[in-house]
Amino acid sequence: MDFRDIIDCIFINKQKYWKILDSDKEKNFFIINKKFSRMYPEIAQIFNYKNMDKSIALDKWFFHFRDKKSIPQWYWNKKKSKINKDKIIGYELIERENISENDLLFLNKYYKIELKKEILKIKKYNTPSKNNM
């Protein structure tokens, strides 16, 4: 049984939940707990304890959602990106300066003014002047 079947049992076919083997619960616990953490991060963190019995933790989730009759919309939606990539400046620096995209995101977040100044300097020095032609 895969995690989609277990989710179906948790939210829709509740009577079938008790037929799920503990081994299936343990095998699929991580991905289910990760998805539930989108809406309930505190509870998911408690269940993330390394010695936690995963089948019992999944039973706790089942009881938590006992009144739900359908799969919530937030379960299947992708996590929203916190950074708007359209507003990121300096992508030309990734190859030129051999920096990673994460470094560039960091610079945009904390040093945007300084980054703009450096990009202007680079463009100024890379633009061929009329005297050199």
Q: Are residues 101 and 53 in the same domain?
A: no
| 92 and 66 inside one domain | no
Query: Both tokens of residue 78?
Result: 């992708």
Query: Pick the residue with more confidence: 16 or 74?
Result: 16
- 71 shares its domain with 23: yes
Q: Is the pLDDT of residue 132 over 60?
A: no
Output the pLDDT for position 97: 77
Same domain assignment for residues 64 and 12: yes
Residue 125 structure tokens: 């020095």
Q: What is the reported pLDDT for 63?
A: 93
In tens, the pLDDT along 65-124 reads: 999 888 888 887 765 555 566 677 777 777 777 788 888 888 888 888 988 888 888 888
**Contact (CB, 8 A) for 68 and 11:** yes
Confidence of residue 53 (pLDDT cuts 50, 70, 90): very high
Query: CA-CA distance, 6 to 32, in Å (whole number)?
Result: 9
**Look-up of token digits 């100024």:** 124
Measured between alpha carbons, how far is 122 from 126 in angstroms, rounded to an integer?
6
| End-of-domain residue from the set 35, 53, 76 | 76
Question: Do 72 and 89 reside in the same domain of the chain?
Answer: no
Domain boundary among the residues 43, 76, 109 is at 76
Task: Specify the residue for token string 């032609």.
Answer: 133
Q: Tokens 């039973």 appear where? A: 59
Cβ proximity of 6 and 25 under 8 Å: yes
Which pLDDT does position 80 carry in this prediction? 55
pLDDT at 33 over 60: yes
Q: What is the pLDDT of residue 85?
A: 61
Where a domain ends, among 55, 76, 97? 76
Domain count, the chain: 2
- Residue span of the structural domain in which 20 resides: 3-76
The pLDDT of residue 75 is 81
DSSP per residue, 100-115: -HHHHHHHHHH-HHHH
